[in-house]
Amino acid sequence: MDLINKIRRSAKDHFKKIVLPEGEEERTLRAADFIIGSKMANPILLGNPDKILRKASELGLRNIHRDAIMDSRKPPKKEEYVRLMLNIRKEKGLTEAEAFKLIENPLYLGVMMIKNGDADGEVAGAVNATGDVLRPAFQYVKTQPGISIVSGAFIMILKDRFFGENGMILFADCAVNPDPDARELAQIAISSAQTARSIGGFEPRVAMLSFSTKGSARHERADKVIEATKLAQQLESTLKIDGELQADAALIEAIGKQKAPDSEIAGKANVLIFPSLEAGNIAYKLIERLGHAVALGPILQGMAAPINDMSRGCSVDDLVNMVAVTANQAAGVN
């Protein structure tokens, strides 16, 4: 748990404004109460202030105050946000009436606060589906320059510190893209390397995974990984990356030396890029459940500003940790 404590301490140092659009939801309120009390960040709860304050009182939460709440029905900069929405989406057919209606949706209000510079990041998804959380983000915040795809990473914290970076390995994409092509896979690798640095605090050694190691099998799916590796090297020439590698060759030094003797990544990888969503999602869940690992995430990568989507089964601790992650992303911590 050293990484989680480090992320929380770092969040305190930067004290970023993080929007919580699901401000009336119990777990979100409990998380916000802890965050305010520990001075980890400056959370902004969106919703009906009277409902929020009443529920906070019923739950015995002492740190929730009116200054931490924004009325999503009548935000102070409502017209300013609507003008910004129209500037961005008018050519897509957005009308003024539609914009005024959308801005009362906390998920849209949250991203417009970020876009306008009034908040640094957002955490949602405790009650809203992933598509509903990400749609406003894609439409208004968009992706980082040079990145056209958003992906989801997990930092897996293992009991066995032999693997990865002292027991930490970043897995991607485990949450968003079912079947990325070679160019998208390369961008996922670049984004994952950034996350390893900013959230994991370690220098990435990226393995592009396949069922083949250095031509041991011939198939178009292995070819995709080979091409993605070359494209990622072109995008970031200093990145330590290699592929295609099987998982054992990527993680275990003796096997890496045998299967890929000329690779500086084989046997030493701390970032694993999976060739498809099904592979990544299955892998992280198996490691989490059978290996009793902590799965920190999903951390959304590639957005122009940090917006993170939670599982609807998330705990209060999950929300607190993701607010800390989001604050670190906003600060660009290395």
Q: What is the pLDDT confidence band of residue 253, given thresholds at 50, 70 and 90? A: very high
**Does residue 109 sit within a domain?**
yes
Q: Are residue 268 and residue 327 in the same domain, yes or no? A: no
Four-residue CA torsion sign, 127, 131, 132, 136: positive
**Does residue 136 sit within a domain?**
yes
**Does residue 300 sit within a domain?**
no
Q: Are residue 264 and residue 324 in the same domain, yes or no? A: no
**Does residue 46 sit within a domain?**
yes
Q: Are residue 270 and residue 314 in the same domain, yes or no? A: no
Q: What is the pLDDT of residue 270?
A: 98
Find the domain containing 197 and state its range. 151-294
Taking residues 258-282, what's their average pLDDT? 97
Query: Which CATH number goes with the domain that contains 313?
Result: 3.40.50.10950
Taking residues 101-105, what's their average pLDDT? 97
Q: Are residue 160 and residue 274 in the same domain, yes or no? A: yes
Q: Are residue 99 and residue 45 in the same domain, yes or no? A: yes
Q: Encode the chain in three state secondary structure.
A: CHHHHHHHHHHHHHCCEEEECCCCCHHHHHHHHHHHHHCCCEEEEEECHHHHHHHHHHCCCCCCCHHHEEECCCCCCHHHHHHHHHHHHHHHCCCHHHHHHHCCCHHHHHHHHHHCCCCCEEEECCCCCHHHHHHHHHHHHCECCCCCCCEEEEEEECCCCCCCECCEEEEECCCCCCCCCHHHHHHHHHHHHHHHHHHHCCCCEEEEECCCCCCCCCCHHHHHHHHHHHHHHHHCCCCEEEEEECHHHHHCHHHHHHHCCCCCCCCCCCEEECCCHHHHHHHHHHHHHHCCCEEEEEEEECECCCEEECCCCCCHHHHHHHHHHHHHHHHCCC
Q: Are residue 180 and residue 261 in the same domain, yes or no? A: yes
Two tokens, residue 32:
């916000």
Taking the CA atoms of the chain, what radius of gyration do you get in angstroms?
Answer: 21
Taking residues 192-215, what's their average pLDDT? 95
Taking residues 17-21, what's their average pLDDT? 98
**Does residue 323 sit within a domain?**
yes
Q: What is the pLDDT of residue 1?
A: 56
User: Does position 283 have pLDDT exceeding 90, yes or no?
Assistant: yes
Taking residues 266-283, what's their average pLDDT? 97
Q: What is the pLDDT of residue 334?
A: 42
Two tokens, residue 290:
């059978």
Q: Are residue 323 and residue 287 in the same domain, yes or no? A: no
Q: Are residue 114 and residue 16 in the same domain, yes or no? A: yes
Taking residues 219-228, what's their average pLDDT? 97
Q: Are residue 82 and residue 63 in the same domain, yes or no? A: yes
Taking residues 34-46, what's their average pLDDT? 98
Taking residues 83-93, what's their average pLDDT? 95
**Does residue 246 sit within a domain?**
yes
Split into its structural domains, the chain has a count of: 2
Q: Are residue 70 and residue 203 in the same domain, yes or no? A: no
Question: Per residue in 131-157, pLDDT tens?
Answer: 899 999 999 999 998 889 999 999 999
**Does residue 37 sit within a domain?**
yes
Q: What is the pLDDT confidence band of residue 311, given thresholds at 50, 70 and 90? A: confident
User: Does position 51 have pLDDT exceeding 50, yes or no?
Assistant: yes
Q: What's the chain's average pLDDT?
A: 95
Residue from 324, 331, 326 nearest 7 by CA? 324
Q: What is the pLDDT of residue 297?
A: 86
Q: What is the pLDDT of residue 146?
A: 84
Question: Per residue in 109-120, pLDDT tens?
Answer: 999 999 999 999
CB atoms within 10 A of CB 237: 7
Q: What is the pLDDT confidence band of residue 230, given thresholds at 50, 70 and 90? A: very high
User: Does position 247 have pLDDT exceeding 60, yes or no?
Assistant: yes
Q: Are residue 78 and residue 171 in the same domain, yes or no? A: no
User: Does position 333 have pLDDT exceeding 60, yes or no?
Assistant: no
Q: Are residue 101 and residue 179 in the same domain, yes or no? A: no
Query: Which CATH number goes with the domain that contains 219?
Result: 3.40.50.10750
Taking residues 287-306, what's their average pLDDT? 93
Of residues 60 and 332, more confidently modeled: 60
**Does residue 299 sit within a domain?**
no
